[in-house]
Structure 1
Amino acid sequence: MDIATLYNANINNIAIAKNAFDALATAFGQHVEAWQHEVADRLGASHWTGPTSDTAQGRIKDLGGELQAARQELSFVSKALDNAAEQFALAQSHLISALDDARNAKLNVGPDGRITWDNEPSSPNFAGAGAEARAVAVSNRITAALNDAVHADQEISARLSRLAANASSGTGLNAATVAQDQAAETARENIPAVGTDPNSVKQWWSGLTEAQQQRFVDAHPDQIGNLDGIPAIARDRANRITLQQAKQNLQLQLDHLGPEPPAKIAGMSGAVSNPAHDEWERRKALLQEQLTGVNAIEKRLVTKVDDAHPPTYLLGFDTKGNGHAIVAVNNPDTADYVSTYVPGTGARLGEINGDIIRSDRMVASADEATKRSKTTSSITWVGYDAPQSIVPDATLDTYAKSAANSLHSFESGLRATHEGDPSSNTILAHSYGTTTVGHAMRDKGLPVDNVVLIASPGVGVEHARDLGVDPSHVFVAKGDIDKIDMAFPQTADKLASNGGNNLGTWYGLIQNPDHHLIHGRDPMIPDFGARKIPTSPDTGHSDYWNENSRSLAAMGEIIVGKWNS
């Protein structure tokens, strides 16, 4: 597929062919109905009996079934032509849009897709600063449009070839063949809804042919890439497509943001802030930040694989709100040990790079613990809307409660798609992420073997056993200079209780003080029932993943089941 072929394609001809075929199919359907009424029904009511009647009526019954089968096969052809028109039109529109933007940016696109531009500032065709970056973006969009057209051509051709073969061989008159084609048609159209049990999703996916699976990845990457129960490799393929589309779309929105409005406008008592300027700045900042996150993910995905940089899989992605992403270091479907890391306040697409680095370090720590005798996958899960401010956002439990279903579905999906013997799975969270994990475990239950709660402001339960796992597999940590335990409790009675316990501890009257934080009992106190893991001296709120730290080493050992206090 080249630029000229797709650009000049007359998509209307496909639509015309589809309409003509529909007219043929309608006429055939009317013929079938007339035959049923005038021949089959009349013969059945004729009271004709005997061996010859039995033979004739049996054959007529069979013929009725064959005609109905042929009628269904014709409907499949019509659907394939309809899909062809839709998919080719979409690919063509993407190509035309890219070429239009290239022309507006004074970029010259050759027949082979090569892009050139005028670098002479004095020339009327000077492309301006940043021409190379814009050329790369346009080139990627052109390539994506051509690839979409190629995929559509291959998939539609295969469908029509099968239906044509059915017609020429007569197998299209067979009910079993029609049932297979109908199942394929249904599978093409019916993607399980978000929230469907991941085990059912995995069963649906496994029942598709490889070609059908590829069609879903190509045609519906946003749905397949974010559907729990789809294997990691397929989700990664789908999300890489969505990532590139999002990158192009974000850049396009930035390019078309328009000139900056004035910061001030005239008011009743002088100049006042311009709401249009504030919205323009907010929108620009969000687009730029999300592009930063997209670029960070893309950079990690294409990093050459070596011991320090295992392969990476994009298991979830979208730009809704502040954006979401789920990035796995190593394939969780084949790993012996799988950990999911849930970050806290401030987590969003634009800040994903630091969280991916933490996943890389946890894999390295686990590898050190096993001497690379086993495989560990560490997943950064920014699959929820995290609070973006300490006050008031992080004081509310609504963000944690809203994430419970999504986190439960994701963890269940890891179990559903894992190959071979079950992996040992660990859920590991930081700060408000521990609150998110706590609510999910309390309200939904998570299919995990270990829980690691780092710098927690409370997890919504009073005791480790309330998380639904053996308390000996619940681990907590807080650094010596981390002030998270100064988070006030939500109620006055707990504040008074904290004060009394502090005083009693200072004067040596209480050996085992209780303490409540903004989201429940402090997991670090002995009565919570969790196991403490060590931290290095001078560990602050964001220092737990520092290289060579005691906490990072302990995390790796816990993930692979080798840590003991």
Structure 2
Amino acid sequence: MLLLAAAMLSASVHLAGVADAPTAHSAPVTTDARPASVLVVAASVQGVPEPAPVRDAPVEPELDGCRDVEATTFSAEACLDQLARASSIGVERYATSLDADGDDAASLVAAVGEQVSAGSTTTWWAGLGDERRTLLAQAAPGVVGNLEGVPYSVRDTANRQALRYATTAVTARLGSDVEEPDDARRLAMLQQVRATLDGATHDVPFAGAADRHLVALDTALPGRAAVTVGDLDTADDVSVLVPGMLFTVSDQLVDWTNTAGALHDEQATWATLLGRDGPGPVPTVAVVAWMGYQTPDLTNFYDLRLAQRGAAHLEDALSGLDATRAGHEPRVSVMAHSYGSTTATIALSSGRVSVDSLVLLGSPGSVVPDAGGLAVHDDDVYAAAGSFDPVAGSGFFGADPATAAFGAVVLHLGGGADTLTGRALAAALGHNDYFRAGTESMRSLALIGLGHGDLVDGRAGDPGRGGPEAPTLALVRPQDLYFRD
């Protein structure tokens, strides 16, 4: 276990590694929100005038059903019905009762999500008039921005406003008598979200040619977020990237989103190349930099509790995508790295969600013994294990996806000339190389996300074959050659 811990510490940080925690002034802050007691959204919805300021006031009885979310009598359906029917002044007064930090909104969203399906939320939102939708998005952006089943363009606008409110509130507390112990760290996290949307921070260049959208945001430490590169409301092919341990919004969101941007560009290039002579339009793509769960560090990586919680959040996100895009469903791939791959196997073995393709990269183990236990259409499952990846093949959390017995296609990672374009491809050997631009691995991920797994180079699985495997000359990994405690 100590050996695996050391390996994870050295290997589980993406690409450039864990960045130093930014200071409270490491990135520019956008503070164009009004004071927290005045819920006014300037130009949140084009063409809609700002509502009159409503200062602190008692919550209207007509929205009592949206309070006390932890009470056993709380009804999510009743709350949504009240939000749909309450007077405008009642909604605005209710909104002033929510803290500007976003904690109250997050609690309400969680409570609603536990009782109401994403499909029901989609139906609820579709039944609202334009004026009511605008009112709710303006008054309670932290709620609307995170309800699975609401269109992603609406969620992006709402979450950006919620980010401004939270940044303003935390900034105002710093240095005052009401400053909270974690305010400096919280502000740094919020600044990283802002920097991610702007495209760069800490001298990290912008990656991804498409627009970025903030489709999920939990402003409470350690924070959760999801940023898409590309239009999630319309994309034909969607790839969801799930990170492993030591990934936090404060330190890795910029990098993870740049990774999503690089994959987006690779996919868009291949979509154009492969679709150029096709009968229809070139497919559009969106890649989600999903940091929707608290990842472990060295103090808690050894059990599955965070993976189980993360799996529940991933199920919610995938259910929300299915509901929002019902009737014009995209092709959906999950690409999960390290501890995130174990998280993905929990989600996709639950029986509640399914995807079109799954890629498990540098995996410490699957909770199911073979790919047949995962809800992936046509068993389109892939695994990658770099020759110098000390985490892949450890089997710490279960079956090794890179063995033939698991049944996944084991991707070739050694590089060489692209068989279609002749382009030179680099090898992906280490734990953090799988998403590196210019590698054979990145090429394979792009093609899998487009539904062209038949064009990748890999070894087909053999799920009928049982028992342990001896290393072969074609795939010799250091962890196969020494004892693991």
Q: Which category describes the TM-score, using the shorter chain as reference length?
A: 0.5 to 0.7
TM-score, normalising length: structure 2: 0.66
The equivalent of 1:541 in structure 2 is 431
Structure 1 pair 382–538 and aligned structure 2 pair: CA distance change class (3 A):
closer
Structure 1 pair 550–226 and aligned structure 2 pair: CA distance change class (3 A):
same
Equivalents in 2 of 1:145, 1:187: separation in Å? 18
Equivalents in 2 of 1:182, 1:227: separation in Å? 16
Structure 1 residue 472 displacement after superposition: 3.8
1:550 is aligned to 2:440: yes
Equivalents in 2 of 1:361, 1:187: separation in Å? 46
The structure where helix makes up a greater share of residues is 1
The equivalent of 1:78 in structure 2 is none
Equivalent residues in 2 for 1:255-294, closer than 5 Å: 255-256=175-176, 283=182, 286-287=185-186, 289-294=188-193
Equivalents in 2 of 1:551, 1:214: separation in Å? 43
The equivalent of 2:340 in structure 1 is 433
1:526 is aligned to 2:404: yes
Aligned counterpart in structure 2 of residue 314 of structure 1, from 194, 207, 214? 214
Structure 1 residue 307 displacement after superposition: 10
Structure 1 residue 325 displacement after superposition: 0.5
Structure 1 pair 362–257 and aligned structure 2 pair: CA distance change class (3 A):
farther
Equivalents in 1 of 2:230, 2:213: separation in Å? 7
The equivalent of 2:295 in structure 1 is 386
| Conservation of the 8 A alpha-carbon contact between 2:211 and 2:230 | yes
Structure 1 residue 466 displacement after superposition: 0.6
Aligned counterpart in structure 2 of residue 328 of structure 1, from 228, 251, 259? 228
The equivalent of 2:272 in structure 1 is 371
The equivalent of 1:353 in structure 2 is 254
Aligned counterpart in structure 2 of residue 297 of structure 1, from 179, 186, 196? 196
Equivalents in 1 of 2:36, 2:187: separation in Å? 24
Q: Aligned to 1:520, what secondary structure does the other structure show?
A: coil
Deviations 1:261-309 (A, max 9, x none): xxxxxxxxxxxxxxxxxx96xx36623541442232331399xxx9952
The equivalent of 1:464 in structure 2 is 371
Larger Rg: 1
Deviations 1:236-279 (A, max 9, x none): 111011111122233334444899xxxxxxxxxxxxxxxxxxx9
Amino acid at match of 2:228: A
| Conservation of the 8 A alpha-carbon contact between 1:369 and 1:562 | no
Equivalents in 1 of 2:371, 2:137: separation in Å? 41
Deviations 1:319-347 (A, max 9, x none): 22300111111111211001111111122
Equivalent residues in 2 for 1:9-28, closer than 5 Å: none
The equivalent of 1:243 in structure 2 is 163
Equivalent residues in 2 for 1:393-472, closer than 5 Å: 393-418=300-325, 421-470=328-377, 472=379
Structure 1 residue 486 displacement after superposition: 6.1
Equivalents in 2 of 1:437, 1:197: separation in Å? 20
The equivalent of 1:266 in structure 2 is none
Q: Aligned to 2:162, what secondary structure does the other structure show?
A: helix
Q: Aligned to 2:215, what secondary structure does the other structure show?
A: strand
Equivalents in 1 of 2:172, 2:207: separation in Å? 37
Amino acid at match of 2:219: T
Structure 1 pair 240–540 and aligned structure 2 pair: CA distance change class (3 A):
same
How many residues of Structure 1 are paired with residues of Structure 2 in the alignment?
A: 355
More deviation in 458-467 or 283-292?
A: 283-292
Aligned counterpart in structure 2 of residue 207 of structure 1, from 117, 127, 146? 127
Structure 1 residue 362 displacement after superposition: 1.3
Equivalents in 1 of 2:214, 2:379: separation in Å? 32
Equivalents in 1 of 2:384, 2:359: separation in Å? 8
Structure 1 pair 549–231 and aligned structure 2 pair: CA distance change class (3 A):
same
Structure 1 pair 415–146 and aligned structure 2 pair: CA distance change class (3 A):
closer
| Conservation of the 8 A alpha-carbon contact between 1:319 and 1:349 | no
Structure 1 residue 143 displacement after superposition: 12
Amino acid at match of 1:286: R
Structure 1 residue 528 displacement after superposition: 0.4
Equivalents in 1 of 2:213, 2:329: separation in Å? 20
| Conservation of the 8 A alpha-carbon contact between 2:245 and 2:340 | yes
Structure 1 residue 443 displacement after superposition: 2.0
Structure 1 pair 202–392 and aligned structure 2 pair: CA distance change class (3 A):
same
| Conservation of the 8 A alpha-carbon contact between 2:235 and 2:286 | yes
| Conservation of the 8 A alpha-carbon contact between 1:301 and 1:313 | no
The equivalent of 1:561 in structure 2 is 451
Deviations 1:197-230 (A, max 9, x none): 1111000000001111011101111111111000
Q: Aligned to 2:437, what secondary structure does the other structure show?
A: coil
Determine what percentage of the aligned residue pairs are the same residue. Answer: 28
Q: Aligned to 1:370, what secondary structure does the other structure show?
A: helix
TM-score, normalising length: structure 1: 0.57
Equivalents in 2 of 1:309, 1:375: separation in Å? 13
| Conservation of the 8 A alpha-carbon contact between 1:404 and 1:437 | yes
Equivalents in 1 of 2:134, 2:444: separation in Å? 41
Equivalents in 1 of 2:260, 2:31: separation in Å? 33
Q: Aligned to 1:237, what secondary structure does the other structure show?
A: helix
Deviations 1:440-495 (A, max 9, x none): 111244231111111110121110111122564001111111111364xxxxxxxx
Deviations 1:364-396 (A, max 9, x none): 111121117210011111111211x1x342211
Equivalents in 2 of 1:199, 1:301: separation in Å? 35
Higher relative contact order (CA 8 A, sep 6+): 2
| Conservation of the 8 A alpha-carbon contact between 2:227 and 2:257 | yes
Structure 1 pair 420–312 and aligned structure 2 pair: CA distance change class (3 A):
farther
Equivalents in 2 of 1:480, 1:256: separation in Å? 53
Structure 1 pair 207–531 and aligned structure 2 pair: CA distance change class (3 A):
same
Equivalents in 1 of 2:436, 2:52: separation in Å? 51
| Conservation of the 8 A alpha-carbon contact between 1:481 and 1:538 | no
1:220 is aligned to 2:140: yes
Structure 1 pair 221–534 and aligned structure 2 pair: CA distance change class (3 A):
same
Structure 1's unaligned 5+ residue stretches are 1-129, 156-180, 260-278, 488-516
| Conservation of the 8 A alpha-carbon contact between 1:254 and 1:287 | no
Q: Aligned to 1:413, what secondary structure does the other structure show?
A: helix
